[in-house]
């Protein structure tokens, strides 16, 4: 089975919109992502939840969520884990990897909205850049993966 890592922020859940909304609500705050419940309350990106569930059920892929934690919010570690449990169930929490350098992991595919900055450019497998012209949404990712 192919190991596939899926980024959390702006790939599975909508970090950017929550960040901008938090700035509008509290313009003086320097790091909105440092607020309590910021990560736990992120909204899923359209199609993301079902795509991961289909990867879980496939016989071809071994999916993991790979996310870089926010050092500005120590609660991001536990809130990201909570987000996974809410959307995929308790058992899938064992497939959450929090690592600031994604190039350290071995695998076949990395689905991430960024191509660099957290070691994505050093990942030895194939990078599918979510939100790019090639993979603008989960429908195009699903097509590429055949799920």
Looking at 3.40.50.1000, 3.40.1280.10, 3.40.630.30, 3.40.50.300, the CATH number of the domain 2-145 comes to 3.40.50.1000
The residue among 32 and 65 whose pLDDT is bigger is 65
pLDDT tens across 47-59, in order? 999 999 999 999 9
Question: Which of 2, 31, 5, 7 is CA-nearest to residue 18?
Answer: 31
CA dist., res. 125 & res. 110, Å (int): 7
Question: Could you count the other beta carbons within 10 Å of the beta carbon of residue 7?
Answer: 23
**pTM metric for this prediction:** 0.95
Strand partners, 65: 6, 96
Tell me the domain boundaries of the chain. Answer: 2-145
Q: Is 142 helix (H, G, I), strand (E, B) or coil?
A: helix
pLDDT reported for residue 37: 93
pLDDT tens across 57-106, in order? 999 999 999 999 988 788 999 999 999 999 999 999 999 999 999 999 99
């Amino acid at each position: 089975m192919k190991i596939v890592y899926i980024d959390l922020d702006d790939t599975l859940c909508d970090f950017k919109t929550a960040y901008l909304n938090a700035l509008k609500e509290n313009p003086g705050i320097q790091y909105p992502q440092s607020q309590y419940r910021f990560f736990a309350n992120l909204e899923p990106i359209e199609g993301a939840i079902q795509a991961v569930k289909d990867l879980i059920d496939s016989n071809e892929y071994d999916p993991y969520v790979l996310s870089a934690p926010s050092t500005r919010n120590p609660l991001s570690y536990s809130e990201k884990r909570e987000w996974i449990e809410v959307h995929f169930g308790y058992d899938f929490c064992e497939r959450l990897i929090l690592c600031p350098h994604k190039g350290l992991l071995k695998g076949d595919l990395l689905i991430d909205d960024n191509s660099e900055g957290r070691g994505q450019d050093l990942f030895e497998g194939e990078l599918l850049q979510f939100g790019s012209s090639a993979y603008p949404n989960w429908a195009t990712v699903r097509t590429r993966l055949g799920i």
